Chains A and B, each alone.
Chain A
Amino acid sequence: MAAVQDGQLNLEVEKDIKTEITNDGSGNINANSSSPGSTSSGGKSKSPAGSGEDQQTLLAVLQFLKRNKLTESVDILRREAGLSADADDSPVSESAGAGSGGVPSVGADGGDANSLLSRVSIATPVAPPATAPPKVVAASGGEDQPDVNVVLSAYSQQGDPVLYPLYYNGLKKFIESVLDCHRAELSQVFYPLFVHMYLELVYNNHENEAKQFFEKFSGDQECYYEEDLRILSSMSKKEHMKGNETMLDFRTSKFVLRISRDSYQVSCLGKPEMSRSLWQLTITYRMLSYQLLKRHLQERQNNQIWNIIQEHLYIDIFDGMPRSKSQIDAMSGSLAGEGKRDANKAKVFYGLLKEPEIEVPLDDEDEEAENEEGKPKKKKPKKDSMGSKSKKQDPNAPQQTRIPLPELKDSDKLDKIMNMKEATKKIRLGPDNLPSICFYSFLNAYQGLTAVDFTDDSSLIAGGFADSTVRVWSVTPKKLRRVKSAADLSNIDKESDDVLERIMDEKTASESKILYGHSGPVYGISFSPDRNYLLSSSEDGTVRLWSLQTFTCLVGYKGHNYPVWDTQFSPYGYYFISGGHDRVARLWATDHYQPLRMFAGHLADITCTLFHPNSNYVATGSADRTIRLWDVLTGNCVRILTGHKGPIHSLAFSPNGKFMASGATDGRVLLWDVGHGLMVGELKGHTDTIYALKFSRDGEILASGSMDNTVKLWDTLKAFDDVELDDFTAATGHIHLPENSQELLLGTYMTKSTPVIHLHFTRRNLLLAAGAYNP
């Protein structure tokens, strides 16, 4: 890919584009509905500075482009920005030019573009009324003030550096003095405030003051911010801030806090002067007119803090009881605070698609002979159960044709039939009936095994390695064979019954095959559901599609210009998702060399990707410690799930599509209700990064595999049963998590110095685990 070699200039372009993309907190950008479109439409929902910032950032980009003599792009951008929201071309990809590979193509369903757009605007959450008046002002302020440098440097405001600790301390004292029930909520403001004040000090070259400030107050912050604080403390110069991505996030995104209206009002009663003014300000910000606000701002001495709050924080006020400390802690920890409540309001069709009706062929003759009476009886109820499940349309399911899915081939139907047959032999799991575990150890991998995947029927296993190779093994006695060469194929009698057997080259039969092609470690691999293809994503910035018939590379998908951490096939094949260091997840179709959708919004690397079982949504986990759920059709972000305290490395959907599990470097597994967008459980027990999660075929058991060399089994049926979801909690999203991880833990199974990096349930519910033995 060009960008790798292009050097500084191109990379800078990339970085700025990244900024541009990420500035939209809710990330409503996709390749079809262009970024100006979404910025302007999304802007309505945003608080004043956000919208203004968008404008300003646009200006900044313009200037940058000008400086780099990309006049054409400037023109386009100008035009687009000036145009109405209907603009249908992305300046992002245009300006990226050769680098970002993203001249967006409408893709397979290009005709839908307009309908897509209408969906976008429909899906756009309605803005909270309170934020409306300031928005206009701030936005106009942005227009009045086209000084790009000021815009880029959000921290240019000058205050007396000596006073910073005083401000902070005053606020701290005030918050410590309020009632217990409010303290927890108000304390949320500490961390973002601390970070921004520190950055302001650094930005304005008050190096020593910044250091003192850090030393004085860094101990007060929650321990799960430790990693960020470490990065923060390493920056002590203005120059450092330029390239630092973490700080870029802080500057470009708003830290979201949820505070109950109650706490809010209480906070302004009889408090020390400075703080009261602060909270009065906040109240007025919400309640009073703009003029009043402005006057307050000018009068009060502590506009330092106020400015920060206004510019970098988004305070989401809700009606209801203040939350407890543990409730807040459960939800916080992400790079940008919690998700806005209205970010999770969109409806998600989490139900499963109707299974196509396949006539299960009458029993094979040999089976008939084997068991004359038992079989037909068994078959019938099974058919019924399958039938009833698929005939009744799940009310929560998306329309069957919501996204076009590939038609079933004959071989797929055969596979489905096999699947059904296997399913009848499935073991019913539960707390009293745990699965046996089969561990696939990779020997002699020399610390180089980076990814593993099994086919759904558990016949093949593939490993991605740090030496850029992908290796495929057959785990059944059936060896892997190549299709014969074209010359040999022409000699085959195409009419013969066993033509499929004849095309295979017996001479190439072997237990394993090695696929060469990548030029960097392979971080993610995924088999297609029909076992004909294999995807691999690599540090070299490409995703490759391999044929498992010829064992050659078919396509290299270029678009991510940075390492691609993960890729995943859709459960129906054809589509796949990839995500990586560039923070943008891309949706591809195997027959298009350019992405169909780009999902932007994460503030840090996308570390793992996963399709929803109904293929209408994709989930991405990120190093910004959030999980986002994206609608494949519209490209919108429909869920932002916060609560993890470290980068998320594994995701799993329950087979019914209703729940999701996620595992992170913090060693915790969190359970989510996809429909409500709520955290419904926390499973503690692992001591290291969780790299693998999988639900059993019926969803009763969750298996988690970790770097701590254990596989743990959890009782998810109980976990989901214990959750009480009444209307109130569903509405506010403030749930009391049951503290019952130990009851839910069904078993812990140690490996022999082998980190568990993949888990898979066979169709009969035998658990397969895989990892490399590290002596």
Chain B
Amino acid sequence: AVSMEERRFAEVPRESVKLMAESAGVELSDDVAALLAEDVCYRLREATQSSSQFMRHAKRRKLTVEDFNRALRWSNVEAIAGYGAQDALPFRPIKEGELFFVDDRDVNLVELALATNIPKGCAETMVRVNVSYLDGKGNLEPQGTVPSAVQTLSEDLLKYYQQITRAILGEDPHLMKVALLDLQSNSKIAALLPYFVYVISGVKSVSHDLEQLNRLLHMVKSLVQNPYLYLGSYVRSLVSSVMYCILEPLAASINPLNDHWTLRDYAALLLSHIFWTHGDLVSGLYHQILLSLQKVLSDPVRPLCSHYGAVVGLHALGWKAVERVLYPHLPAYWANLQAVLDDYSVSNAQVKADGHKVYGAILVAVERLLKMKALSLSQPGPGGAGTPWDDWTPVPLPAMYCELYSFFGDSLAVRFSTGPSLGGCPLSAPSQPPDTRKEPPGPAANPDTTRKMPQLTANLNISPRQDGSPRTEPAPPSLARRNSSSRPGQRSAGPSRDVFTKARFPPPQTGPPTFSFLIGGRQMGRRCQGRRFQTSFSSPPPLSTVPPRAYAHKLPVIGRVGKPVRRWTCSHYSLHLPL
């Protein structure tokens, strides 16, 4: 009968009752056992039901043994001893006998008594206060966590915080390195995160001091890389600090001798790093960043260094961001830039130099855009791995190329390596984000960069081995490869290196570019062992659609660098980004 009915409750079978009776030395008949079993079940259910009220009144969700014992006591049943521990009791089966039992290990009292590590008592119950300030609408008002509240931290953490900040912002580079390394790997500093974030948000007050800005950015990087930290909504604060370094006309940039460009490059790199690793923590972060970059770019009042920041920022966020924001904006922006570049007056020299920086940055960005777009067309899978913009129809590649060509002319063509003669040039496959995430930053290694006036960030001064770069990681393959293959002499060309060379190879067709081009290469690295691929755009756009190269020929020869760039600048990073 038992097996027939629906099992609404857990039941004690009569066999168990008999077993228990046997262990107490009583023989039971089946009938008695069945009756007993049923009654036991009912009593158990009753006790359970009444025990739940003790749980409810203790305002708990978990029914404890203690609750059950209270229920038993109130119904005049002896309580069960020995199960008061809060930990879960392991319930173990013995297969042979279909027996289940609670693991009840012997406790060695002697050992316990003589143990030297006396367990600490329970921590004292205490009350702590947190205040949520609400504004009129009931939204939580963000409260800048003020370091003065550091007092509530434990002594040790407080000390750590002071030491770390002192080391990072102090004079000793070695100490700084140690501090940054620790910040990157310490697993116990979660409580300090708000304080560090607050310190970092101090970028705004040290905008005159490139060195300090740099240090703070390194701090950001260490925090971001620390695998034990959950940044949560602090990502927003970090991003805004980094964006500040990218976009703002820093006080330090008034002096042309200050290399704030490198700082911006580094910050842009950091931004993309944060975005790719922690972007999922804050919803809509990508769009917010893009919007603020776009805003800066479309604001003609902003100084050129801000524009530069916007461009490298977009570039750092990947080719899709460039395609989405920079590319449509280019025609409008170009006019402004052209005006700056065309002004040869002495008073304009500084601005013009800045303009060249922007020009170079845009060039690098669009070049990568074209390259990646072509790549993504040939490989729809990995190419589209970026952040999707749903409601947006991309411009077809040929049209895009045409338009860009109208701006940049041959300088684009060359760098893009048109023509079949470069068919063997491998293009980099899109790097995997995990790889790039771990990429140690160049400036971290050589923070005392002495580059004075690099005219172009985009110059291909990349020389992975011979330059004595501290990096052991290979440079972005595509560039390195092309440099060494197509322009082997360029690197050491000496003082008068023409960075933006005119096309060495005459375009396939002279005159207006009716072109068809072919992108080919190997997917895997520069050893040419990967899969070979080729993309050809066989249908050239109709002639009429190609705008005359109105701007391209007006461009002066730009980008002569006075001396070879000795060191690695950060610029190569902007060419090597995960998608």
**Interface residue ranges, B against A (CB under 8 Å):** 5-6, 8-9, 38-39, 42, 45-46, 49, 53-54, 56-62, 64, 66, 70, 74-76, 86, 122-134, 136-138, 140
Contacts and interface: CB of A to CB of B under 8 A. Distances in A.
25 contacts: A234-B46, A240-B42, A432-B136, A434-B136, A436-B133, A437-B131, A437-B132, A437-B134, A438-B131, A438-B132, A439-B130, A440-B127, A441-B130, A443-B123, A443-B128, A444-B123, A444-B124, A444-B125, A445-B125, A463-B127, A523-B57, A563-B57, A563-B74, A581-B74, A746-B138
A7 B45 contact: no
B127 A466 contact: no
A666 to B, nearest CB: 13
Contacts of B61: 707
B57 A607 contact: yes
Nearest to B140: A749
A713 B129 contact: no
A449 B57 CA distance: 10
Nearest to A711: B132
A475 interface: yes
B65 to A, nearest CB: 12
Contacts of B62: 447
A713 B122 CA distance: 36
Given A443-B123, A450-B57, A562 B129 contact: no
Contacts of B136: 432-434
Contacts of B76: 7-8, 11
A647 B58 CA distance: 14
A215 interface: yes
A593 interface: no
Given A436-B134, A438-B131, A439-B132, A757 B59 contact: yes
Contacts of B132: 436-439, 749
Contacts of B75: 243
Contacts of A8: 76
Contacts of A447: 58, 60, 62, 64, 86
* Shortest beta-carbon contacts, A-B, top 10: A747-B138, A434-B138, A444-B123, A234-B45, A437-B132, A436-B133, A438-B131, A450-B58, A439-B130, A444-B125
Contacts of A448: 58, 125
Contacts, number: 132
Given A434-B134, A447-B58, A757-B59, 7 more contacts: A215-B6, A231-B49, A441-B128, A512-B127, A521-B58, A607-B56, A689-B59
A234 B46 CA distance: 8
B75 to A, nearest CB: 8
B546 to A, nearest CB: 58
Interface in A387-433: 432-433
A649 B6 CA distance: 34
Contacts of A437: 131-132, 134
Interface in A71-117: none
Nearest to A432: B136
Interface of A: 7-8, 11, 211, 215, 231, 233-237, 239-240, 243-244, 432-451, 461, 463, 465-466, 471, 473, 475, 512, 520-521, 523, 539, 562-563, 565, 581, 605, 607, 623, 647, 649, 665, 689, 691, 707, 713, 746-747, 749, 755, 757, 770
A439 B129 contact: yes
A749 to B, nearest CB: 6
Contacts of B138: 434, 713, 746-747
A80 B123 CA distance: 59
B125 A647 contact: no
B134 A435 contact: yes
Contacts of B66: 466
B136 to A, nearest CB: 5
Contact of B38 (A237, A520, A563): A237
Contacts of B129: 438-441, 475
Given A8-B76, A438-B130, A749-B132, A539 B42 contact: no
Contact of B56 (A433, A443, A647): A647
Contacts of A707: 59, 61
A747 B59 contact: no
A620 B315 CA distance: 67
B5 A211 contact: yes
A437 B42 CA distance: 47
Contacts of A443: 123, 125-128
Nearest to A12: B76
Contacts of B42: 234-237, 240
A240 B49 CA distance: 14
Contacts of A539: 54, 70
B122 A565 contact: no
A712 to B, nearest CB: 11
B38 A466 contact: no
A233 B122 contact: no
A233 B38 CA distance: 13
Nearest to A474: B127
Among B56, B62, B122, B128, the most chain A Cβ lie within 10 Å of the Cβ of B56
Contacts of A563: 54, 57, 74
Contacts of A435: 134
Contacts of A523: 57-58
Contacts of B70: 520, 539
A475 B60 CA distance: 25
A755 B59 contact: yes
A243 B46 contact: yes
Nearest to A773: B128
A565 B131 contact: no
Contacts of A433: 136
A649 B58 CA distance: 11
A233 B49 CA distance: 13
Contacts of B125: 442-445, 448, 463, 465, 471
A532 B138 CA distance: 36
Contacts of B124: 444
A539 B54 CA distance: 9
B58 A436 contact: no
A691 B129 CA distance: 20
A746 B8 CA distance: 42
Contacts of B38: 236-237
A487 B9 CA distance: 64
A446 B58 CA distance: 12
Nearest to B73: A4
Contacts of A244: 46
A11 B76 CA distance: 9
A444 B5 CA distance: 47
A211 B1 CA distance: 12
B56 A689 contact: yes
A539 B66 CA distance: 12
A441 B126 CA distance: 8
A581 B75 CA distance: 13
A243 B45 CA distance: 13
Nearest to A430: B136
A443 B127 CA distance: 6
Nearest to B35: A237
Contacts of A466: 58, 66
Contacts of B8: 233-234
A433 B42 CA distance: 54
A563 B74 CA distance: 9
Contact of B128 (A440, A520, A521): A440
Contacts of B59: 449-451, 689, 691, 707, 755, 757
Contacts of A240: 42, 46
Nearest to B135: A434
A768 B66 CA distance: 31
A11 B129 CA distance: 45
Contacts of B140: 749
Among B86, B124, B131, the most chain A Cβ lie within 10 Å of the Cβ of B131
Contacts of B6: 215
Contact of A434 (B5, B127, B137): B137
Contacts of B127: 440-443, 461, 463, 473, 475, 512, 770
A360 to B, nearest CB: 31
